[in-house]
Structure 1
């Protein structure tokens, strides 16, 4: 391929992704933004290189890029219409910028295949967090899993296989029905405070405030909450601190626990997106 791909490296996923894409024939230029002290220098390089870029691959989430205001300004002033942009969990402002400039972009987290495949790595990494941070074994522990999307399902199933007593909290009746069909006890969030009693662990997958004070106050003080939801998460972390409950917001789990596998997942998504755009160009030509 004669295209130039600019890849911002925020974790090991991108390191492996760069290797894979290079082997596939992409002309990859990497900008390492992991060191905040040198990130501004890397963003200055991005400003200079953007006019040569056919593909720009951003972190998951895009908010990992330091100096977001400067980064936004660079995109706004230097990003060209021909550049395909990919990243994870674009902000509303970034989406509006890209859409307004008629730039084609892909949010990896809205690629169903990526979401399904990433759920496995996310589930395994979440369990690793529980094993490391909770003072209890998973076996026989009462664990609340909030949400029953791809990640919620994968986590609940693996916790169940390890002997946990899993309760799923979900708003949608269909999700609760599915969770029950998979062998779990499932209730609406209205019953969250009742279910929190005696729970050793809570895993939140919902990117909205659902692990509220009503639930937190009923948890044992040695319970552990791990929140893997995007954005600000779905846990009242200030409330958890007030009650002395350990709560972590852990993002980018696949990049931490399965970076190479995750890189292959992203590479396949990149190739699908590029192929789709090429096919679209060919259709426009007729």
Structure 2
């Protein structure tokens, strides 16, 4: 494949992705990518434009540290014959693209990329926890809130390190799977009275789960690691209670960008191949 790629915005994942694309013999232009030169006109005119994951941090603004760039203004630079790829596209931005006749594909809707991202997030979550703990995870009682992709993979990794794993979920099927794997299960709606022995809590649920009354039941040195984009742990309450609480957002991009970029690169080429675009 020999295409022209434009990478606009993002974090260290985009920088690693640019390197991978160049290694495959493609021409790559970048703008707002950490550590790489800015060439917005060339990047915006490329055959394939790869926008960041997530596409926006703030409503209507591209996820880009280099400049404040509204997506509506950026989309005016694109042509209908280009392929636009972005991650976690919000409805408003999808509508902006469609109104201009643009083809934008959300690469983060792919299951293969979601699984790879979840695996990277789970491993990075352990790294984050171990950097903030003064004791090992071996024989520590650990609670995972939510049993989706990240929750499942995190449970396996904690178990492999010798932690005592409890996973909390809402769906009866998830609770059954937790027990089938040999871990303790808990219903998220019935956590009261069961929180007094945990050394670490990892949240993956993007809605409030641990409010102040529940946080008060945790041991004073319990480490709370927030992995959801919308916090499920009341961080202000945790801080007032003296609980160590880390909002570990965008872990793949911050801690394992090379692995995360390789997964995005694979997804990009799968999308191009599945669309039947010429190589």
Residue 157 of structure 1 deviates from its aligned partner by 0.8
- Any residues of structure 2 matched to 1:87-166 within 5 Å, and which? 87-166=86-165
Alpha carbons of structure 1 residues 101 and 210: separation in structure 2 relative to 1, 3 Å: farther
Q: Distance in 2 between matches of 1:208 and 1:68?
A: 30
* 8 A contact 1:134–1:223 mirrored in 2: no
Which residue does the alignment assign to 1:233? 231
Alpha carbons of structure 1 residues 86 and 209: separation in structure 2 relative to 1, 3 Å: farther
Q: Distance in 1 between matches of 2:95 and 2:195?
A: 39
Q: Distance in 1 between matches of 2:273 and 2:127?
A: 36
Which residue does the alignment assign to 1:6? 6
Unaligned runs of 5+ in 2: 58-62
Aligned partner of residue 238 in structure 1, secondary structure = helix
Aligned partner of residue 144 in structure 1, secondary structure = strand
Aligned partner of residue 170 in structure 2, secondary structure = coil
> If the length of structure 1 is used for normalisation, what is the TM-score?
0.85
* 8 A contact 2:122–2:150 mirrored in 1: yes
Q: 1:267 aligns with which of 255, 265, 268?
A: 265
Q: Does 25-34 or 238-247 show the bigger shift?
A: 25-34
> If the length of structure 2 is used for normalisation, what is the TM-score?
0.86
Q: Distance in 1 between matches of 2:23 and 2:117?
A: 23
- Structure having the higher helix fraction is 1
Q: Distance in 2 between matches of 1:120 and 1:67?
A: 29
* 8 A contact 1:65–1:71 mirrored in 2: no
Which residue does the alignment assign to 2:242? 244
Q: Does 1-10 or 51-60 show the bigger shift?
A: 1-10
Which residue does the alignment assign to 1:284? none
Q: Distance in 2 between matches of 1:94 and 1:177?
A: 39
Residue 118 of structure 1 deviates from its aligned partner by 2.2
Alpha carbons of structure 1 residues 264 and 131: separation in structure 2 relative to 1, 3 Å: same
The C-alpha deviation readout for 1:76-98, integer Å capped at 9, x for no partner, is 43232222222322233223323
Q: 2:47 aligns with which of 50, 54, 67?
A: 54
Q: Distance in 2 between matches of 1:180 and 1:237?
A: 29
Residue 111 of structure 1 deviates from its aligned partner by 1.1
Q: Distance in 2 between matches of 1:68 and 1:19?
A: 22
Which residue does the alignment assign to 1:28? 28
State the aligned residue count. Answer: 272
Aligned partner of residue 70 in structure 1, secondary structure = coil
Q: Distance in 2 between matches of 1:236 and 1:211?
A: 6
Residue 193 of structure 1 deviates from its aligned partner by 2.8
Which residue does the alignment assign to 2:252? 254
Alpha carbons of structure 1 residues 206 and 107: separation in structure 2 relative to 1, 3 Å: farther
The C-alpha deviation readout for 1:154-178, integer Å capped at 9, x for no partner, is 1011101111111111111111111
Q: Distance in 1 between matches of 2:154 and 2:203?
A: 10
Q: Distance in 1 between matches of 2:258 and 2:16?
A: 6
Q: Distance in 2 between matches of 1:127 and 1:222?
A: 17
Give the CA RMSD over aligned residues: 2.6
Q: Distance in 2 between matches of 1:94 and 1:52?
A: 19
Q: Distance in 1 between matches of 2:228 and 2:198?
A: 20
Residue 68 of structure 1 deviates from its aligned partner by 8.6
